[in-house]
A = this chain, B = another copy of it.
Amino acid sequence: MKKQQSSFIAMASTLKMVFMLLFSIFTISPVSCYKGVHHPLDPLSPKELTLVQTIVKKSYNPSSNNSISFHYVGLDEPEKPTVLSWLSKPSTETLIPRRALVFTRVNEQTHEIIVDLSKRIIVSDEVYKGPGYPLLTADEQVAAIQLPLTYGPFIESAKKRELNVSYAVCSTFTVGWYGGAERTKRVVKVQCYYNKDTVNLYLRPIEGIQIVVDLDKMEIVEYSDTFKIPVPKADGTDYRFSEQKPPFGPRINGAAIMQTKGPGFEIDGHTIRWVNWEFHLAFDVRVGPIISLASIYDPEKHTYRSVLYRGHISELFVPYMDPTEEYYYKTFFDCGEFGFGQNAASLVPLADCPNNAVFMDGYYAAHDGSTVKVPNAFCIFERHAGDIMWRHTELGIPNRVITEARPEVSLVVRMVATIGNYDHIIDWEFKPSGSIKAQVGLSGVLEVKSTTFTNVDQINEEVYGTLLGDNTIGLNHDHFLTYRLDLDIDGVANSFVKQNLVTKHVNDEVSPRKSYWAVVSETAKTESEAKIRSGMAPSDLIIVNPNKKTKPGNHHGYRLIPGTATHPLLLEDDYPQIRGAFTKYNVWVTPYNKSEVWAGGKYVDQSQGQDTLAVWTLRDRKIENEDIVLWHVLGYHHSPCQEDFPVMPTLNAGFELRPTNFFERNPVLKVLPPKPVRWPNCTAKP
């Protein structure tokens, strides 16, 4: 993994060099943060990660033969009040101790460790006995997928299929939980692919072979070869440009964003300031990008006002819809099992991000606790999409025409998490009008299975997907993205208000109308009143500050404009759905609780759904005028089509958080009209 990453650094940085050279006027060197002191929410630095490794390894006395592996190393988030009070007057005297939250495996036991990096000591160390196991590390997966290649029975199976083992590439799959007592071992299933004449391994599965690997012992513990079916052919599966044959195209003219004044944002450590926004951006090995302390400047109140204390994707549940022996277990939790940060792709300048983007690296701890760098893990850029921020043309005043229009500009923070075959493009977009848009783009490669069928007409049984080509079924599946949105609208104490739109009957004699709709507001008192399936009843969902009002007396608020309503189709008592129960509703609200960060639980691998958002909310806690957290579940049901083959055009889903009586009026009313863009005083050479 580290080797791969670093080999990639070379490639990427060459590209980056070119790009830097070309657009050097646009690059920014992050300036140091407050007096060189860490922001309390900064992710662990490479230095700190190394320190964690040292402290933990020391404590387990390396001279003995303890086997230690690091499955999660992240910032142990300080309590919110502590953070807020320090930020209110940062000083080097009153430093908040830097602490790390560490999940390790020591001699086949899971440890949950808190390390104090300032005192350089372990503050607490608890053994977790399950159910469930921590994040799989990249390194152990790399080790596991090597095992079959030297494993006699597998070599036999390959021979039986007339396949050359040297072209076999394997991949790991979490086993899930299907009732009964928990497995006592940390195991994964390993499926192999035939990588000859293509790099698109996922489209060439070698079927009929079941391999189970014990990750702690790092050995194959189960093996079976039950049936043979030809591997789909390689033709047309490779997505690399170098492998494409002419005619190329369609041909698209290139373009560049030209900012004569350079980018409008500044990066100060992990804090980003742009136009009227300020927020903190952190990298986490499990959830990827974390937006913190997003606040917006209020021109009337002459101050920044808090909106989002912490926002990130919490879990991604991807159940496949093939119940057969070879595929039933494919019900993945990509954040909790594989890690969005651990699988962050190094972004490619000009392809993943436009020419005006600025990049940031990410760091995480590898299996052995050493630091891995992900170059260009994030890009940050101003989006000039040609949209309109607001406009009006007035033709109603005789003999006059008035037109005022302002072009939209927004700031985008992007990371891409590639979990095996799928690429998830994670965007956070900030608008000067106060909106925050979160979007996920889905690209990459489908999960397919082999079949003997070459035409739909031959299909005489359920195939659980779409026939995409000769011998290739694209399997039906879902993607459920769960966002954790710890909104602090103008302060910590907030309420969740459902502004239900209700049909009213007109009974008076005066009105010729029979009906209209009115807003009937309902404040959710407890968690159970805040569980909502989108699309069931029309309602504006608003997080308000019940203690702050506008001049006319409306509560300051932000509204959730949800994504397309998608609901689980698995039975509620089916095992994967028990573990993914947090997808039952599209909206949940909980009181802030430091330990409730991961909707699928801390230990998701082989979990039994004992520690999910659905379970937490059974306590039905008070959420009125409290520090509350909004959870939003976005989903797609994905029944593949041929256009998704061999690599799929991006499919988008997202939601908007929009100010609603947060400002006294349109906060971008006074934005300057566009000036003709100043142009370098020479003309372009075609």
| Cβ contacts A to B, 13 pairs, < 8 Å | A169-B398, A241-B404, A244-B670, A254-B677, A256-B258, A323-B513, A323-B516, A354-B386, A390-B649, A391-B416, A519-B639, A642-B664, A643-B662
A637 in contact with B501 given A390-B649, A672-B251 (CB within 8 Å): yes
A254 in contact with B249 given A518-B476, A649-B390 (CB within 8 Å): no
Q: Mark A224-259, 1 if CB is under 8 A from B, else 0.
A: 000000000000100111001001111111111111
A241→B672 CA distance, assembly (Å)? 7
Q: Are A322 and B519 in contact (CB under 8 A)?
A: no
- Please tell me if A467 contacts chain B, counting CB pairs below 8 Å: yes
A199 surroundings in chain B (CB, below 8 A): 394, 397, 400, 402
Q: Mark A348-391, 1 if CB is under 8 A from B, else 0.
A: 10111111110000000000000000000000011111111111
- Please tell me if A152 contacts chain B, counting CB pairs below 8 Å: no
Q: How far is the CB of A414 from chain B (nearest CB, A)?
A: 8
Interface residues on A, range: 35 or more
Other 10 A-B pairs with CB < 8 A, given A253-B382, A517-B570: A25-B686, A260-B686, A351-B406, A387-B441, A434-B643, A455-B552, A476-B518, A503-B570, A517-B569, A649-B666
Q: Are B22 and A676 in contact (CB under 8 A)?
A: yes
A251 surroundings in chain B (CB, below 8 A): 264, 275, 671-672
A576→B517 CA distance, assembly (Å)? 13
Q: How far is the CB of A336 from chain B (nearest CB, A)?
A: 19
A474→B678 CA distance, assembly (Å)? 40
Q: How far is the CB of A143 from chain B (nearest CB, A)?
A: 10
Closest to A455 in B: B553
A146→B397 CA distance, assembly (Å)? 10
A673→B349 CA distance, assembly (Å)? 11
Partner of A454, one of B382, B552, B661: B552
Q: Are B351 and A405 in contact (CB under 8 A)?
A: yes
A513→B664 CA distance, assembly (Å)? 53
Q: Mark A299-336, 1 if CB is under 8 A from B, else 0.
A: 10000000000000000000001111100110000000
- Please tell me if A646 contacts chain B, counting CB pairs below 8 Å: yes
Q: Are A554 and B466 in contact (CB under 8 A)?
A: yes
Closest to A402 in B: B199
A407 in contact with B566 given A255-B384, A513-B328, A679-B256 (CB within 8 Å): no
A564 surroundings in chain B (CB, below 8 A): 561-562, 564-565
A388 surroundings in chain B (CB, below 8 A): 351-352, 425, 441, 443, 650
Q: How far is the CB of A86 from chain B (nearest CB, A)?
A: 27
Q: Mark A202-244, 1 if CB is under 8 A from B, else 0.
A: 0000000000000000000000000000000000100111001
Q: Are A643 and B670 in contact (CB under 8 A)?
A: no
Q: Mark A256-292, 1 if CB is under 8 A from B, else 0.
A: 1111111110000000000110000000000000000
Q: How far is the CB of A677 from chain B (nearest CB, A)?
A: 4
A680 surroundings in chain B (CB, below 8 A): 680, 682-685
Interface residues of A in 536-594 (CB under 8 A from B): 536, 538, 540, 549-554, 559, 561-562, 564-567, 569-571, 573-577
Q: Are A178 and B355 in contact (CB under 8 A)?
A: no
Closest to A556 in B: B642
A505 surroundings in chain B (CB, below 8 A): 571
A514→B551 CA distance, assembly (Å)? 55
Stretch from A3-11, A62-70, A115-123, A128-136 forming part of the interface with B: A3-11
Stretch from A87-95, A456-464, A479-487, A603-611 forming part of the interface with B: A456-464
Partner of A249, one of B19, B402, B535, B672: B672
Q: How far is the CB of A78 from chain B (nearest CB, A)?
A: 31
- Please tell me if A165 contacts chain B, counting CB pairs below 8 Å: no
- Please tell me if A660 contacts chain B, counting CB pairs below 8 Å: yes
Q: Are A686 and B249 in contact (CB under 8 A)?
A: no
A402 surroundings in chain B (CB, below 8 A): 199, 240
Closest to A321 in B: B516
Q: Are A674 and B513 in contact (CB under 8 A)?
A: no
Q: Are B515 and A571 in contact (CB under 8 A)?
A: yes
Interface residues of A in 416-466 (CB under 8 A from B): 416, 418, 420, 423, 425, 431-435, 441, 443-445, 454-457, 462, 464, 466
Q: Are A383 and B386 in contact (CB under 8 A)?
A: yes
Q: How many copies does the complex hold?
A: 2
Closest to A681 in B: B685
A468 surroundings in chain B (CB, below 8 A): 552
Q: How far is the CB of A550 from chain B (nearest CB, A)?
A: 6
Q: Are B22 and A679 in contact (CB under 8 A)?
A: yes
A260 in contact with B250 given A554-B642, A645-B666, A676-B350 (CB within 8 Å): no
Closest to A471 in B: B552
A435 in contact with B649 given A239-B669, A248-B672 (CB within 8 Å): yes
Q: Are A649 and B677 in contact (CB under 8 A)?
A: no
Q: Are A261 and B253 in contact (CB under 8 A)?
A: yes
A260 in contact with B685 given A395-B343, A397-B169 (CB within 8 Å): yes
Q: Are B669 and A552 in contact (CB under 8 A)?
A: no
Partner of A259, one of B254, B260, B346: B254
A169→B398 CA distance, assembly (Å)? 8
Q: Are B258 and A253 in contact (CB under 8 A)?
A: no
Q: Are B4 and A400 in contact (CB under 8 A)?
A: yes
Those 3 A-B pairs whose CB atoms lie nearest each other, nearest first? A535-B535, A456-B553, A178-B512
A518 surroundings in chain B (CB, below 8 A): 321, 462, 464, 476
Q: Are B670 and A248 in contact (CB under 8 A)?
A: yes
Q: Are B395 and A350 in contact (CB under 8 A)?
A: no
Closest to A7 in B: B401
Q: How far is the CB of A533 from chain B (nearest CB, A)?
A: 10
A250 in contact with B276 given A552-B456, A682-B680 (CB within 8 Å): yes
